[in-house]
Amino acid sequence: MTASSTQNTLSTRILKYWLPVMAMLGAMYYFSTDVFSGENTRSIVDIVLTHLIRQPSSRLIARANYFVRKSAHFTEYAVLAGLLFRAFRADSEFRWRARWFVYSIAIVVSWSLLDEFHQTFTRKRGGSIYDSMLDISGGLFALLIVWLLSSRKGKVREA
């Protein structure tokens, strides 16, 4: 294999496996700004519910907004964990390695804590350890699904 083909393969692998991770981290950073504060998402939830239900109560809007926001925490970190695991796995013949899990969850935990810390510097948001725990549980859930699917298909390696 020549140096240029090795470089091309490396570039392709970076684009294929790590660009989606970087895009997700960028999106999550943007979601962590005031643009996605509770009052801003509430107005969107209000519009949607008004189209579905003629006159939704403010209590229903508040509950729906809470549900949407917490579901987003869980889901975005589940997606991040899946993308990270995929990137660490890359082209390996193995479907699961414990170290890929450890690397993935370590980044999920770190990013979650940094994300909540970042929110303490915004005007309309605040950091919450409870949101971090929800984020981490989303990451763990995704990795559990990956493990279950991987163990059914064979070539699981613990190391």
pTM: 0.87
Portion of the chain with pLDDT greater than 90, in percent: 66
> Which residues, other chains included, contact 59 with Cβ-Cβ below 8 Å and sequence gap of 6+?
none
Residue 159 has pLDDT above 80, yes or no: no
Indicate the length of the chain as a whole number.
Answer: 159
pLDDT 10s digits, 76-123: 999 999 999 999 999 888 889 999 999 999 999 999 999 999 999 988
CB 24 within 8 A of CB 80: yes
